[in-house]
Amino acid sequence: MGNSSRLADSTANQILKMIEEEERFSVGDKLPNENDFAAELGVSRSTLREAVKILTTYGILEIKRGKGTFVTSNTIIDSNDLSDITSGLDDLFEMRLMFEPDCAYYAALRATDEEIRIICECGEAVEKKILSGEDRTVEEQKFHESIANATHNAFVKQFIPIIFNAIKKGVVVMMKDSDVSKDNMSDDRLIMDFIKKRNPDGARTAMRLHIIHAMEGLQKNQN
């Protein structure tokens, strides 16, 4: 994958961070004009267009001809509309079950010492949020993103918006379930332990169990 493609992926993640973490843009907001936004992000207009195309593919942005680029309703979740949150959630988590265990496998094989440190730091941040009873969405997203990044696979980053969406929806549904939260902490510790030990099979199994536990929690809290 060329430098231009990697730069487009990085730019897409920057924009996603502005939406999901910094909450700079809300649903229905129009992004700044192309020249200004490209200058702010420090990239060319062609790179910005590619980044927008990536986020459009995942339903995070929508291009309205003659009007501009807008944040869609698929990005920010209205926690009061449970039917909207749970729509498609089973499929999202099934996709994670297909994808993330192998991310953990390759992270255990390929992660640098610094990347392992970041993975553990992110996992500990999730645990602190759970113990304090606070929303752990951003921390959970960073934990799984750090594992995906440690695979050193250029295409994996293209799936991160899907993972972010599934995590955000899942946390809204399950946050008040203390049993699910305890499972989450235990699973994260196991994943971190196997990655630290550079045990790919253990990491894959631990991630698989983590996603299965989350899917069971979803079923419990949607009924």
Amino acid 99: pLDDT? 92
The length of the chain, given as a count of residues: 223
Q: From start to end of 22-154, where are the E strands?
A: 61-64, 68-71
Amino acid 65: pLDDT? 84
How many other C-beta atoms are found inside a 10 Å radius of the C-beta of residue 148?
20
- Domain positions in the chain are 3-71, 82-222
Helix 137-149 crosses helix 178-196 at what angle (to 10 degrees)?
20
Per-residue pLDDT of the chain (223 residues; tens, 9 = 90+): 456 667 887 898 889 888 877 888 888 899 999 999 999 999 999 999 988 887 876 677 888 888 999 988 544 444 344 344 445 678 888 888 999 999 999 999 999 999 999 999 999 999 998 888 887 888 888 999 999 999 999 888 778 877 877 787 777 666 666 677 778 889 999 999 999 999 999 999 999 999 999 888 877 766 5
Contact of 69 with 30, CB cutoff 8 Å: yes
Amino acid 78: pLDDT? 42
Amino acid 82: pLDDT? 37
CB contact set of 129 (below 8 Å; sequence gap of 6+): 135, 136, 139
CB contact set of 223 (below 8 Å; sequence gap of 6+): none
Q: pTM for the full model?
A: 0.63
Which single residue is written with the structure tokens 């992660």? Answer: 111
Amino acid 121: pLDDT? 96
Q: Torsions phi, psi of 78, nearest 5? A: -85, 110
Contact of 198 with 103, CB cutoff 8 Å: no
Q: At the top level of CATH, which class does the domain 3-71 belong to?
A: mainly alpha
CATH number of the domain at 82-222, please? Answer: 1.20.120.530
Q: From start to end of 8-127, where are the E strands?
A: 61-64, 68-71
